[in-house]
């Protein structure tokens, strides 16, 4: 869980940086060029296959841990006092929501791109898919904007426990560095999802 989780954590900032090109204000030119590069480059292809594999492994591990632990607890208390934070004891629920989000998200952009359902655009004489238009189309729908923002809150909660938990599992704790890791984890789980959430909101408002 910890190793696959840490890998997935490193993926998010990279994804976010690319996405910020959506806000470049150039009618999507930079973003479309970037999207073409990402779909064509063999190294990126290799990394993304690894990424999908890690998502699947992480999810399977999660289901196993959840099932085994539930059986090992046996029965539940009639009264349950609050002795952990909510995210820590609901990682399975949060993870499931995230998985559903990823599937919808990949259908909306990645699959359409792969199937060539995205209308073309010509930039500097090169024809490419106008992914930007698809993105801004989806983000003109308030329902999807809310869906994306809520999903980012869920990811933030999942990260808020997952980030520092991964270090604890790997035994990487230290009097001096553990508070730092925890602070970093909190910052990360707020800033990264916030960065992602800004994009649909911004694009929605820009189209009003």
Partner 1 sequence: MKLTLKVWRQKSKDHKGNFENHQIEASEHMSFLEMMDVLNERLIEKKADPIAFAHDCREGICGTCNMVINGKPHGPMKGTTVCQLHMREFNDGDVIVIEPWRAAAFPIIKDLVVDRSSFDRIIQAGGYISVNTGQAQDANSIPIEKDVAAQAMDAATCIGCGACVAACPNASAMLFTSAKVNHLALLPQGQVESSKRVRSMVKQMDEEGFGACSNTGACEVECPKEISIENIAAMNRMYIAAVVGQQDQV
Helix (H, G, I), strand (E, B) or coil at 120: strand
Smallest gap, in angstroms, from Cβ of residue 172 to partner 1? Answer: 7
* Tokens read off for 59: 């999810």
Interaction between residue 115 and partner 1 (CB under 8 A)? no
CB of 93: closest distance to partner 1 in angstroms?
12
Spell out the residues 6+ positions from residue 161 whose beta carbon is closer than 8 angstroms to its own: 85, 87, 88, 91
Counting residues that bind partner 1 (by CB under 8 A) gives: 32
Nearest distance, CB of residue 161 and partner 1, angstroms: 7
Tell me phi and psi for residue 122, to 5 degrees: -110, 120
Helix orientation angle between 29-40 and 131-138, rounded to the nearest 10 degrees: 110
Under the binding rule (CB under 8 A), the answer on residue 83 touching partner 1 is yes
Is position 176 an interface residue for partner 1 (rule: CB under 8 A)?
A: no
Q: With CA atoms as reference, report the closest residue to 88 among 7, 176, 162, 17.
A: 162
Residue 180 touches partner 1, criterion: CB under 8 A? no
Within 13 Å of residue 61, how many CA atoms lie on the same side as its CB?
Answer: 12
41, 141, 173, 207: residue in contact with partner 1 (rule CB under 8 A): 173
CB-based contacts of 34, cutoff 8 Å, min separation 6:
18, 21
Rule CB under 8 A: choose which of 47, 126, 170, 183 binds partner 1.
Answer: 170
Region for residue 77 given its phi and psi (left: phi exceeds 0; alpha: psi -120 to 50; beta: otherwise)? beta
Among 75, 115, 116, 122, binds partner 1 (CB under 8 A): 75
Around Cβ 138, how many Cβ atoms within 10 Å? 19
User: Minimum distance between the CB of residue 102 and partner 1, rounded to whole angstroms?
Assistant: 21
- Judged by CB under 8 A, which of 41, 141, 168, 207 binds partner 1? 168
For the bound state, the minimum distance from the C-beta of residue 96 to partner 1, rounded and expressed in Å, comes to 15
CA distance 97 to 100: 5
Shortest Å distance, C-beta 178 to partner 1: 8
Q: Is residue 177 at the binding interface for partner 1, with CB under 8 A as the rule?
A: no
Nearest to partner 1 of 141, 173 (CB atom): 173
Residues in contact with partner 1 by CB under 8 A are: 1, 65, 68-69, 71-81, 83-85, 88-89, 91, 161, 164-165, 167-173, 178
């Amino acid at each position: 869980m910890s190793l696959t989780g840490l890998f997935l954590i490193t993926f998010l900032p990279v994804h976010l940086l690319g996405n910020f090109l959506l806000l470049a204000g150039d009618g999507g030119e930079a973003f479309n060029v970037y999207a073409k590069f990402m779909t064509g480059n063999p190294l990126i292809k290799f990394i993304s296959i690894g990424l999908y594999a890690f998502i699947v492994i992480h999810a399977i591990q999660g289901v196993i841990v959840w099932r085994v632990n539930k059986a090992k607890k046996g029965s539940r208390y009639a009264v349950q006092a609050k002795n952990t934070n909510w995210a820590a004891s609901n990682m399975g629920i949060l993870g499931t929501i995230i998985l559903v989000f990823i599937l919808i998200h990949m259908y909306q952009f990645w699959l359409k791109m792969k199937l060539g359902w995205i209308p073309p655009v010509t930039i500097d004489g090169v024809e490419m898919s106008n992914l930007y238009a698809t993105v801004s189309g989806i983000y003109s729908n308030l329902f999807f904007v809310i869906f994306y923002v809520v999903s980012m809150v869920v990811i933030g909660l999942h990260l808020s426990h997952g980030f520092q938990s991964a270090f604890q599992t790997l035994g990487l704790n230290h009097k001096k560095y553990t508070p730092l890791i925890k602070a970093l984890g909190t910052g990360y789980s707020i800033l990264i999802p916030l960065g992602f959430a800004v994009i649909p909101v911004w694009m929605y408002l820009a189209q009003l």
